[in-house]
Amino acid sequence: MRKYFGTDGVRGTVNEPPMTAEFALALGRAAGHVLTRHVAHTPSILIGKDTRLSGYMIESALCAGLTAQGMNVLLVGPVPTPAVAYLTRSLRADAGVVLSASHNPAGDNGIKFFAADGFKLPDEVELEIERLLDQPPALPPALKIGRAKRIDDAKGRYIEFLKASLPRGMRFDGLKVVVDSANGAAYGVAARLFIELGCQVTSIHDEPDGLNINAECGSTAPESMARTVVETGSDIGFALDGDADRLIVCDASGRIIDGDRIIAILAEHARTENRLAGGAVVTTTMSNMGLERFLQARGLGMLRADVGDRYVLEMMRRHGCNIGGEQSGHMILLDYNTTGDGLLTALQLLCAMADMEKPVHELAADLELFPQHMWNVRLPHRWDVLSHERVQALIREAEQLLAGKGRLNVRMSGTEPKLRIMVEAEQETLMRQVGDMLYEGIGEVVEQHA
């Protein structure tokens, strides 16, 4: 059983267990011991972070634990999560770690590890690290501790990697782009990338102060991005989240394009280029039935994984697929990177527009999405609300109402104390009726339990 690691590393509110400096120090020591045991040379680990105020505290404590245990630490500062995955491989580090709570508010933070190949650590390694948190390992001799040094060209390296994903010489001269960096890790990368490719860039929410990451901006609040696109007469808008592994898009009219439509565009482009591996894409249980029908009409499969990029990636590798993603805009393009990458996804969308000679709103234009909505029930603390008898009865009733007319998914969030209720139906009135019934009924159960 996992005690600290969730589906996306360790995450929580800063200065509350487990997201404390003391825990980060202990985690550094435990991870350092596990990651150095089977390496003949002095091992190195790369640490990147987003722009949260707490990043300095967590970085210092984690670095202290890792070096105390004998690991050399490479500090790259604020960079996107996918940059850490890439740089871990590029710099031949033995592991990488990113300090971020992704799309969560500034008061949260997280610690997520990558293996030397840029993929997330295997479950068995995370569990081995967890065991050592309760029984700290012995420390090495005084002269066997590690060193820490800063890498100054990390952002430039990552930008060159991103540009290399495009066909040689491809540019987007004159294209008017709005990019929202969510006051997060992409603030020093995103605008520079698009400018180097010839775009006319309007950059918003790119002045982080440690407290404004994801604050009414970015992929979870793309409305300001959409407004700016319309106001500036731009061709397309890109909204990233705090660690830039997610992307939400809008067209020239400000219409939001979510992850399902992005997957449809990327899959259709890859099919026409004969580059779609496995004959299918991997999505999650949240993806719209309309996407499934769109892909089926083109002879393509759609495999559904549990919610979470870890599970999408596992299924992609199992079935040999190279495109996968989530409705939230978290896209994994295995031909290029080992984890979700918002800027990489943006470039591949621009590449599809250029190759197919169409604006983004004309790509996958015949994709008709079913009415779908998400209700979130906040819990005062984590508990197994889904096993409650009344909740199970409400779910059964909802499934009967939707039989043959829609879909239902009720699950605990993997990163927050919330119960997420997704309802999808052919008719919006039915969708709203079922969703409101579940939200109100489960909300009453939660209030009684509090």
Question: In 10 A of CB 210, how many CB atoms?
Answer: 13
- CA separation for the pair 146, 123 (Å, rounded): 26
Q: Based on the residue annotation, tell me whether 102 is a catalytic residue of this protein.
A: yes
- CA separation for the pair 16, 64 (Å, rounded): 20
Question: In 10 A of CB 201, how many CB atoms?
Answer: 19
Domains annotated for the chain, with CATH where assigned, are 10-153 (3.40.120.10), 175-256 (3.40.120.10), 258-362 (3.40.120.10), 372-449 (3.30.310.50)
Q: Which residues contact 56 (CB under 8 A, 6 or more apart)?
A: none
Question: Which segments in the chain show pLDDT lower than 70?
Answer: 1
Structure confidence at residue 339 (pLDDT)? 96
- CA separation for the pair 421, 271 (Å, rounded): 33
- CA separation for the pair 54, 232 (Å, rounded): 35
Residues 95, 4, 81, 116, Cα dihedral to 10°: 20
Report phi then psi at 304, rounded to 5: -100, 125
Report phi then psi at 95, rounded to 5: -165, 165
Structure confidence at residue 3 (pLDDT)? 86
Structure confidence at residue 1 (pLDDT)? 66
Among 102, 219, 234, 287, the active-site one is: 102
Global confidence as pTM = 0.90
